[in-house]
Amino acid sequence: MKKIFLHVLAVLFSVGMLAQEWHPSLTYIWEPVPPVVTPGSGTSPPSDAIILFDGSDLDQWVKPNGEPVGWKLEDGVMTVLKGTGAIHTKQAFGDIQLHLEWRAPSEIEGEGQGRGNSGVYLQGRYEIQILDCYENTTYVNGQTASVYKQHIPLANACRPPGEWQTYDIIFTAPRFKEDGSLFTPATVTVLHNGVLVQNHVKIQGNTEHIGLPAYKAHPLKQPLLLQDHSNPVSFRNIWVREL
Ligand code: MG
């Protein structure tokens, strides 16, 4: 009887200790305080975003050879001008949240990869495919919002050609060791028109058209590139937040 009493006492005591040990305040964290960011509304970006294109000029962009971009700027929209080549940001970025809006031409020309093709190349190397895949069949690892030839999107969230579409991209840059070998691969999450299409996938290296992907060491921050794939794809409202 005395044994049972002592046992019950011990249990009550330990429960009491536990309750005391796990007072809610013991797991409150007060610092560091996250910075205040005023969210955007409609098409306006959050307060801490770096504006890459707001429709007024192409000042944030340059051709890879350093020359001014040859794309068309009209009515607050920039459009690929066939043959003038890719454009990239003057600024280099590492880990980012990226928002951009794109539009495939309303007049349908071509098929498969030849229809409304462009691309956003994270760090100039890792392509998130831009393509008009609205009732347009192509290889699925190269369709809209694929990590080109690496990750098939989880859904085809394309709007009809001629309508504006959004990409919201969360990208973690790869890290390399001093000897140039890979330390951690890049990862990317993509929402296409608000639909999750890439869920924190590991990028396997440069997105190659021919052959297999492979990493080549590069500095942590690299410019963002938009592709000229000979189709008049348009862009507006491009902003980035450094993470
Ligand atoms: Mg492309």
Q: What is the pLDDT of residues 199-209, one digit of tens each?
A: 999 999 999 99
Q: Which has the closest alpha carbon to 168: 149, 203, 194, 148? A: 194
User: What's this model's pTM, rounded to 2 decimal places?
Assistant: 0.90
Query: Residue 201 has what pLDDT?
Result: 98
CA 128 to ligand 1 centroid distance, Å: 8
CA 74 to ligand 1 centroid distance, Å: 23
Q: Which residues of the chain, if any, have pLDDT below 50? A: 9, 12-13
CA 126 to ligand 1 centroid distance, Å: 11
Name the superfamily (CATH) of residues 42-242: Exo-inulinase; domain 1 (2.60.120.560)
CA 130 to ligand 1 centroid distance, Å: 6
CA 227 to ligand 1 centroid distance, Å: 6
**Encoded amino acid at 21, one letter:** E
Q: Judge contact between 198 and 214, C-beta under 8 A.
A: no
Query: Residue 115 has what pLDDT?
Result: 95
Distance in angstroms (rounded) separating the CA atoms of residues 158 and 152: 14
CA 187 to ligand 1 centroid distance, Å: 19
Q: Which has the closest alpha carbon to 76: 46, 99, 103? A: 103
Task: Give the angle subtended at the CA of 183 by the CAs of 181 and 224, to the nearest 5°.
Answer: 90
CA 113 to ligand 1 centroid distance, Å: 8
User: What is the residue extent of each domain of the chain?
Assistant: 42-242
DSSP-H helix ranges across the chain? 2-21
